[in-house]
């Protein structure tokens, strides 16, 4: 089973058929917008295309609360990331 699973996740499979890595990154990102963060992180480990899609700001902005811009305004301008 391990060998067949790796064939699914690699780019350019040896049998000439498309694999998961052949799906365009922007299409994967659109699907990721419907998943929860742990699912996205797990899928990002499968291949480069999924990892790239998981890095998309659009994917993560869809997970933020609608008022997150207001919440960011509450932080001081010189905030260095240490509380």
- Identify which of 21, 19, 7 has the alpha carbon closest to the alpha carbon of residue 50: 21
Interacting residues of 46 by C-beta distance below 8 A, sequence separation 6+ = 9, 20
For the cut 70, the answer to whether the pLDDT of residue 14 exceeds it is no
Scanning the chain, the segments in alpha helix (DSSP H) are: 2-9, 25-32, 37-44, 48-54, 57-61, 68-73
pLDDT tens across 28-72, in order? Answer: 999 999 999 999 999 999 998 899 999 999 999 989 998 988 888
Mean pLDDT for the stretch of residues 6-30? 75
């Amino acid at each position: 089973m391990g060998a067949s699973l790796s064939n699914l996740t690699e780019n350019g499979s040896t049998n000439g058929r498309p694999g998961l890595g052949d799906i365009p990154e922007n299409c994967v990102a659109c699907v990721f917008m419907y998943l929860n963060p742990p699912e996205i992180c797990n899928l990002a480990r499968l291949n480069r295309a999924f990892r790239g899609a998981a890095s998309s700001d659009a994917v993560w902005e869809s997970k933020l609360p609608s008022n997150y811009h207001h919440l960011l305004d509450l932080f001081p301008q010189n905030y260095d990331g240490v509380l």
